[in-house]
Amino acid sequence: MASILCLLAGVLALLTGATPAQAGVLTRDEMVRRFPAPLIVGERDAELPVWPLFRQNATATELVGYVFESVDLAPIPGFSGVPLNLMVAIDPKGVFIGVEVLSHHEPVFLDGLGEAPLYQFVKQYKALSLKQNISIETGNHRARHADAAHAYIDGVSKATASVRIINQSVLAAALKVSRKKLGFAGGRDPDQIARVHPDVFRSMDLAQMQRDGLVQHLRVSNRDAEKLFAGSPGAGLDADALAHPDDVFIDLYLACVSVPSVGRNLLTPAAWRKLQGRLEEGDHALIAISSGRYSVTGEDFVRGSVPDRLLLRQDKLPIDMRDLDLDLKLAAPLEADSVTVFRVIAQAGLDPASPFELALPVTRNKGIVYPERITRELVVRYQLPADLVIAPEGNNKSWTAIWSGRRWELALLAVGLLVLGAALAMQKRLTAHAARFDWFRRAYLLFTIGFIGYYAQGQLSIVNLTGVIQALMARRSLEFLLFDPMTVCLWGFVLVSLLLWGRGTFCGWLCPFGALQELTGKLARWARVPQWRIKPHWDARLKRIKYVMLAGIVASAFFSSEITDKLVELEPFKTAITLNFVRSWPYVAYAVGLLLASSVVYKFFCRYLCPFGASLALLGKIRLLNWIPRYAECGTPCQTCRHRCDYQAIAPSGKVDYAECFQCMDCVVIYASDQQCALRITQIKRQRTIPIQPAARSQP
């Protein structure tokens, strides 16, 4: 049943739009405002979410460039866990026209440094080229000068991680557009990216790996290095090379160590496992093993940064790679002065099935005051054998590929939802034994917190609703929903459960933060923390607050995404579940404060403040079943369930308020219990009454 619901939800979301998935916010009117005459904004591309820019030149209309949003093409999660959205414009030669920030959630710029350094940082991309290797510089390195192959932009102190992610987002999105629209992909389709085959392994020694091209060896003597500069101003500037021409300039081994047939043969088992733990799906790792007087990293190299002395290129375009800061032990018999591993993230678009090159630039300076820089490159070409990669099947970045990649998570979720659906459908059997029901509920809440929440990141939120509203307002497709399969499946189940049982199924069983609150409250009771039961008239008034919050958030979604971004922080879900409390202290204090409040007032946030719960309560009005069984005597005179209801969702008359019911089923357990239900206890006592009978007369 749960699997069918997942499929139906996916089909429903797909039918809502037929254009490519878009999470961006720019409309045509906004584009025209940002790029006024004499520029002309063309129609949005039907194949790739980009806007072409034109200029009228006499009688001809010439292409000025393309504008796009990074979140549409490279949604790389920021430090907060949410992708930044940057507006990027490039010209037909791959030169940046400009970069602007549309939205972000980076704590260091929101809560610490302010946004001015962020805006200043992105301005530096103007006039830089995608054909340059763009590096972020800090400290003493800021004195380095750009050239045709290198560009340097100033970083932001105390925001190293955030600006690095911004740089990756800009470059990954721009590279995808340049490959697709500017012909920089060497004739291949940049959307058709092969993958390294994770299950193919061939046991080989170093010599075999070199013969198969899996390990490339470059040995350069001082004499060879000097020949690079022959006939140029750089000739004869290296005194050591002239004095010792036969000495080793560099002895370098290069390999794609994330390939099992390379990594498992080249590294020790412990080092291979360590490397695997640092890579995400689709990432690549390149290893450089070097010795000699010229190092790949250099004396001023900072661990964790982008290398200057080793460049990665494919289709003549540089691809960003970064030191993993890993010390790995080699299993192969190699002596080396340094072993460095570099990570290439999946969004960078490196195709392992196509050839790429690793270049080692060697620079000499002539002059003292204003030295002339002369650079030559040592280039190593690299290509994996066909049997070690999986050829692309269609667009492997489509939502169908994402669903396929998470099939085991979806299968486990389907089993969990199937178990919950069956349990709720057979509530009489489920609640027949109070102790057994308690164990089932606690186990399921732990499943919700651990798997649905922290592992699968399936926390439904008011953001799901505001995102749909904003997309519809901008007349964008809703296909972006399909790129989060856990959310789609959960929504499919929740919509059906709303029809059957109301809001309680999600709020009481499937909300990770709600489950975290409930277990916090139970732990507090076990520790004998005094509980505060709010008086009924105040309880009724406080429950209205969440509806006010919902109205404010929904209204803001129609006219201001900036205000919406601030208002949705009323939900602590991102802090507590998505970011696992790794956030600036005000957000953490707020989330922890709500958990502490729930330890004295049962599920405080869920009952009084949760705007998403309010939306489900309203949607739950279409509920078909009054599924909580009642006796005629419930409420008149029996008040047991009302007093035992922690959510105060039962009126003195015995009527259940389903909009405030969290389906904890405590009242259903009481209803079926001969030890807890006052009516059943009374009936049993009456059955045990011995009737009075007249004594038999004795015979004379």
Query: CB count, 10 Å around CB of 588?
Result: 16
- Report how far apart, in Å, the C-alpha atoms of 209 and of each of 255, 352, 384, 598, 657 are: 9, 17, 11, 60, 70
Q: How far apart are CA 499 and CA 491, in angstroms?
A: 12
Give residue 525's identity as a one-letter amino acid code.
Answer: R
DSSP assignment letter at 137 = E
Q: Are strands 85-90 and 96-103 parallel, antiparallel or unpaired?
A: antiparallel
H-type helices in 501-649, by residue range? Answer: 504-505, 512-526, 536-542, 545-559, 561-567, 573, 585-598, 604-608, 611-619, 640-644
**Is 123 within 8 Å of 166 (Cβ atoms)?**
no
Query: Any residues with CB less than 8 A from the CB of 224 and at least 6 apart, and which?
Result: 249
Residue 374 in contact with residue 229, Cβ under 8 Å?
yes
What is residue 345's predicted lDDT score, i.e. its pLDDT?
A: 82
Pairing of strands 150-154, 133-137: parallel
Contacts 24+ apart (CB under 8 A), 155-162: 155/121, 156/113, 156/117, 156/118, 156/121, 158/108, 158/112, 158/113, 159/106, 159/108, 159/109, 159/113, 159/117, 159/118, 161/79, 162/78, 162/79, 162/106, 162/108, 162/109, 162/118
Q: Which residues pair with 221 in a beta bridge?
A: 248
Distance CA 624, CA 275 (A): 53
| CA gap 636, 647 in Å, rounded | 20
pTM for the structure as a whole: 0.54
Residues of the chain with pLDDT under 50: 1-22, 140-143, 395-397
Residue 4: partners with Cβ closer than 8 Å, 6 or more residues away: none
Q: Cα separation of 391 and 474, whole Å?
A: 37
Q: How many CB atoms lie within 10 A of CB 418?
A: 16
User: Sheet holding 338-344: strands in order across?
Assistant: 215-221, 248-256, 284-291, 338-344, 322-323
Amino acid code (one letter) for 495: L
Q: Residue 518: what residue type?
A: E
Q: What letter represents residue 111's amino acid?
A: D
Long-range CB contacts (within 8 A, 24+) of 566-570: 568/461, 568/462, 568/463, 568/466, 570/609, 570/611
Angle in degrees, CA 236, 238, 242, rounded to 5: 70
The reported pLDDT for the residue numbered 647 is 83
Looking at residue 104, its pLDDT comes to: 83
> How many other CB atoms are found less than 10 A from the CB of residue 349?
25
631 alpha-carbon distance from chain centroid = 49
Residue 405 in contact with residue 436, Cβ under 8 Å? Answer: no
**pLDDT score at 20:** 36
Instruction: Supply the angle between the helices 611-619 and 485-500 in degrees, to the nearest 10.
Output: 50
> CB within 8 A of 141, min separation 6: which ones?
152, 300, 302
Environment class of residue 482 by beta-carbon count within 10 Å: exposed (0-12), middle (13-18) or buried (19+)? buried
- For residues 102 and 83, give the distance between their C-alpha atoms in angstroms, rounded to a whole number: 11
The gap from C-alpha 176 to its chain's centroid, in whole angstroms, comes to 20
* Nearest CA among 170, 25, 181 for reference residue 91: 181
